[in-house]
Amino acid sequence: MLQFLKDCAVQPEIWKLTGNMALRSQGGLLLPAVLVLTLAFNVSYTLASPRIGNKIKSVTFLSPEFVLEPGSVENRFYYNIDFPRGHVGLKSLRAEVIDGAGKPIPLHETYLHHWVVAKYYQRQDMADNNGDQKIQQADYIFGGNSGICQGTILRQYFGLGSETRKTDTHIPDPYAIEIGNPAEIPEGYEEKWMLNVHAIDTRGAVDRLGCTECRCDLYNVTVDEDGQPLRPDYTGGLNCCYDQTRCKVQKGYEGVRRSLYLRYTVEWIDWDCGIIPVKIFIFDVTDTGKRLNVSIGSSPENGCQVEYDVEPCSIGSAVSDGCIDVRRTSLTMPVGGYVIYGVAHQHTGGIGSTLYGEAYLNYSVHHHICCRMFMRSLLRGMVNNIKSDELVCSIQDGRVICDSESIYGQGKDAGDEAGYVVGMSTCYPEPGSIQITAGENLVLESNYSSTQKHTGVMGVFYILVADRTPNPMNFLHSPIHKHEKIKISKSALAVVSLLGLAVVGAGLRHRLKKGREEEGYEPIMA
């Protein structure tokens, strides 16, 4: 453990944890400081986001039925799905795979690679397409988000994967995703919604992880969905586990065919002038930054590649960086605003992902990963008996916009499947505390364990950005919306620091003066 701490040491003068020193009470000095902290926390809590007056509506829908058997794959696009209509503000969308009886299906039986909900506009004189037939582009207009990927790549409004059951998608008040605004719907068209479900039945699979990572040899695939030959170096990913492909199962294994559904619950409110709309940005760590031709989608040279491979580490790497694959890319924010929500999307093997602002400093990858992971473990109580002079860690990571970590299951039940990413931690910054400026250069970092090879992994980051913060007067007089994660603002923290120092300083002076008087000493200075 001591060696681990020494390995993490970077610029000791920057930051040291002081161990029990910060918790030691001398002459009752801790109590006033705690009271000041408590007061500041209560102030921060009182200034939490105001609740919108409109009542939140919630409805649960089912996707069209899809039938799977061991080894089979479902990856279809369903158009004109059930979804809230009219001018409303979306507040959350949750989803999971269930059977015909409504029972949640665990990931080790049916792996939910991803589900996506996207908006499109259909000509009003067109007959509704209520199935999974491909649409004619001339009759439809795709309504994407505000992201920067090319064409329609990663332009969905909502979308998660195996982590869907334990990832919070709630949008805090007074914010919402605006849909159904008549002023934004092209003349002669109407707003519709599409659902894409990509699920893989891994019951009886010879290599369950390989099936979920879409390894081409397990699917016996040499061409993509359009019949085009795969690149020689393409060993796994979306091009090998498309709709109606099959992953290899154990010889003699028999499993029943069963009907499944994606159950999704949408929460929304009627739109009014008190709601602040948010823009959706989805960033991809594989983004090359090139925009050759939006029509060619994700060619090897063009823009967001969506997926990438993680190669297994060498013995030397295991010693130097703990077998962690770090992928980074630089991005330019097209518009400015305030971040009100953030979350990453990763596959099995993912450790976490971080979006940095322009102040990001690129120093030793090993020190960065080592220190950050150890600090997380310490804060979670996973590391004990550490002396204050042993823990030294750098905080020169720059301005962190959002840090989202992978959450792994521990059991067998749906939502807690061992070995699977069952959730991603989310960021809910205090309104106005995290601002991105137009043209700001961001850095997206995605970290995966490289103790073994992974194919077709993703490093996607989803943020919601508002162009303004709540009106201060309305902010103070609005009902309070309780957050699951409440953070103290920078201003409140500054007040805490100043008041705390004042209280402690006054107490120390009083105690020293009293001690000297008791022992017959005269102070040198009055």
Confidence at residue 502, expressed as pLDDT on a 0 to 100 scale? 52
* Selection from 218, 221, 219, 242 nearest residue 230 by Cα: 221
Q: In terms of residue numbers, what domain contains 300?
A: 57-360+398-477
Instruction: Tell me, yes or no, whether 141 lies in a domain.
Output: yes
The per-residue DSSP string of 500-511 comes to HHHHHHHHHHHH
- Cα 207 to Cα 133: distance, rounded to the nearest angstrom: 32
Instruction: Tell me, yes or no, whether 182 lies in a domain.
Output: yes
**DSSP H helical segments within 310-353, as ranges?**
315-321
Instruction: Tell me, yes or no, whether 178 lies in a domain.
Output: yes
- Cα 110 to Cα 97: distance, rounded to the nearest angstrom: 8
CA 298 to chain centre: 23
User: Is the distance from CB of 377 to CB of 476 less than 8 angstroms?
Assistant: no
Instruction: Tell me, yes or no, whether 348 lies in a domain.
Output: yes
Confidence at residue 422, expressed as pLDDT on a 0 to 100 scale? 98
Confidence at residue 522, expressed as pLDDT on a 0 to 100 scale? 34
Instruction: Tell me, yes or no, whether 70 lies in a domain.
Output: yes
- pLDDT tens, position by position, for the chain (526 residues)? 434 333 433 333 333 333 333 333 334 444 344 333 333 333 333 333 445 567 999 999 999 999 999 999 999 999 999 999 999 999 999 999 999 999 999 999 999 999 999 999 999 988 776 666 566 667 889 999 999 998 889 999 999 999 999 999 999 999 999 999 999 999 999 999 999 999 999 999 999 999 999 999 999 999 999 999 999 999 999 999 999 999 999 999 989 999 999 999 999 999 999 999 999 999 999 998 887 664 444 556 678 999 999 999 987 666 566 899 999 999 999 999 999 999 999 999 999 999 999 864 444 344 444 444 444 444 344 334 333 333 333 333 458 999 999 999 999 999 999 999 999 999 999 989 999 999 999 999 999 999 999 999 999 999 999 999 997 644 443 333 333 333 444 444 444 455 455 544 555 455 444 444 444 433 333 3
Confidence at residue 230, expressed as pLDDT on a 0 to 100 scale? 95
Instruction: Tell me, yes or no, whether 211 lies in a domain.
Output: yes
Residue tagged 């709709």 (tokens): 243
The per-residue DSSP string of 35-96 comes to HHHHHHHHHHHHTSPBPPSSPPEEEEEEPPPEEE-TTBEEEEEEES-S---SSEEEEEEEEE
Instruction: Tell me, yes or no, whether 219 lies in a domain.
Output: yes
Confidence at residue 321, expressed as pLDDT on a 0 to 100 scale? 67
- Cα 178 to Cα 275: distance, rounded to the nearest angstrom: 9
Domain count, the chain: 1
Instruction: Tell me, yes or no, whether 312 lies in a domain.
Output: yes
Q: Is the dihedral of CA 335, 336, 339, 343 positive or negative?
A: positive
* Selection from 165, 167, 169 nearest residue 107 by Cα: 165
Confidence at residue 289, expressed as pLDDT on a 0 to 100 scale? 83
CA angle 469, 473, 478 (to 5 degrees): 85
- Cα 220 to Cα 247: distance, rounded to the nearest angstrom: 8
